[in-house]
Amino acid sequence: MTVLGTVNPGPPEAEPLTEDMVYQTLAAKGIVSPRMHLQNIASLVRANRITTLTIARGYRPVNGQPARLEILCPIDPDHGPALDEQDRADYFDTKQYIAVKAGAELIRRIPNTQGIDGMNVMGKTIRAKPGKNIKLTRAAGTDFSPRDPNLLIALTDGHPVPEKKTIRIDNTLNLPGVNIKTGKVDFDGSVVIAGDICSQGSVKATGDIFVKGTVSNARLEAGGSIIIGGGVLGESEEPDQQHPTTELLAGKDVHAMFLNLTAVKAGGDIRVQRYTRHCELIAGRTIFVGEKGGKGAVMGGSLRAGGSLVCNQLGSGAYVGTDVRVGFLPDINDQLVATKRELNRRETELAQLDIILRRLQGRKAPVIQGQLKLDKVSKVEKTITSLNQRIRKLRARITRLSAEAEIAQQATILVQRRLYPNVQISLNGHMEEVMEERGRSEIHLQGEKIKY
């Protein structure tokens, strides 16, 4: 990017060096005058001793800056719960549950820059690389500002939740507790309950459900996660019949201090600090029992996990029957086969409809048949649109099932301290009963056999 010139003054009788001679030499090399350093050339010509100076200089390109997203609203800090005086996880004291008003500025896209081109000493442009672009997308409860297409604002009051390349707004409902006075709660958004959910209570939310207290003989259903600071209690009317009387359904994760006579179904993880007793647990990924240094005992009931079970104690000294199944690989494979079969069928239908549509659009019909032709074209186009939507859903389902299959292939049961007899174990359909008491056990499949 630079040209250096060196002068070595000769004897007095030698022909003197002139600026024009330097200009002509540089021009002969293809170096353009705008890139010549005229002041240094003049100094070089007048030098009376060996001198080296820069006599031409290009400049490097400055690459553009990437686009970026700047969050403008407060966001909940992402950290774990603290424990209060009763050793209960206090999710609400440590989680500042933020709310914003309609019209609040949420996130701004700072556009990428194109950069500044450079130039070499011969006058050739060196192109700068533009910065990487990024797209800001709408999410639930938001829209772009009418004054700024790079600014996302809240459409309603609610709770801002960061997502990939956007922020969504969850409407929130705050209640001191759920009891006879509140009745059944059905809310489009997230629900925060500062106290307990009493017997026969019911909470349904499209977002998350946060309960600071305990849940007793109730039903909770969340599109997101269910986080319970205290425990979950069920009560069996007949002591000999230990059936769950409390139900938790979550699209994502479930957290609780302990679970007793509770049925839980979570799309993600189930995390319990102290124990589960006569529960029916189903987790799409992992069941953890023994979080934050808790006892971590699984006593009775049935547990289903897509990926793994991690606990400190599995079964009990009374040899209570406990059924554990980890890995849904056979079911997932069946669903994958069925979904791929339907995808092939739908893609064939789409190809056939494309042919029919091209024929209809290319056919020259008399005027009297024009409306009939338009009706046929419209009907085919609507069917094609519907098929494309279905195909996209099927492909997304195949991607999800394939990811679940990868998790299931690593199915394991990790018992950190004690494994008791009368525990039925199944790993991806391979079953075995624990016949003797064991210490720490990492249970996995080796070929077709269960190994400890």
CA dihedral 120, 125, 126, 132 (to 10 degrees): 150
Domain ranges of the chain: 2-57, 68-113+131-170, 173-329+411-451, 330-409
Rounded Cα–Cα distance for residues 97 and 77 (Å): 9
CB atoms within 10 A of CB 414: 17
* Residue type (1 letter), 177: G
Query: Could you give the C-alpha distances from 49 to 9, 10, 103, 129, 239, in angstroms and in order?
Result: 6, 9, 73, 43, 108
Rounded Cα–Cα distance for residues 376 and 308 (Å): 53
Q: What is the mean pLDDT of each run of 10 residues along the chain (452 residues)?
A: 83 82 87 84 84 87 94 70 52 51 94 94 91 93 95 90 89 83 81 91 91 95 95 74 86 96 95 95 94 86 93 93 87 88 93 86 57 76 92 92 81 93 90 92 85 84
Rounded Cα–Cα distance for residues 305 and 303 (Å): 7
By residue count, the chain amounts to: 452
Q: Are residues 406 and 336 in contact, defined by beta-carbon separation less than 8 angstroms? A: no
Rounded Cα–Cα distance for residues 26 and 232 (Å): 85
* Per-residue model confidence (pLDDT) at position 341: 94
CATH class of 330-409: mainly alpha
Q: Are residues 254 and 236 in contact, defined by beta-carbon separation less than 8 angstroms? A: no
- What 3-state DSSP class applies to 391? helix
Radius of gyration of the chain (CA): 35
DSSP structure string for 91-154: HHHHS----B-TT-EEEEEE-----B-EE-TTS-EEPPPPPPP------TTEEEETTEEEEEEE
Q: Per DSSP, what are the bridge partners of residue 325?
A: 304, 426
Structure pTM?
0.59
Q: Give 59's contacts (C-beta < 8 A, 6+ positions apart).
A: 1, 118, 119
Q: Are residues 206 and 141 in contact, defined by beta-carbon separation less than 8 angstroms? A: no
Rounded Cα–Cα distance for residues 231 and 242 (Å): 18
DSSP-assigned letter for residue 368: G
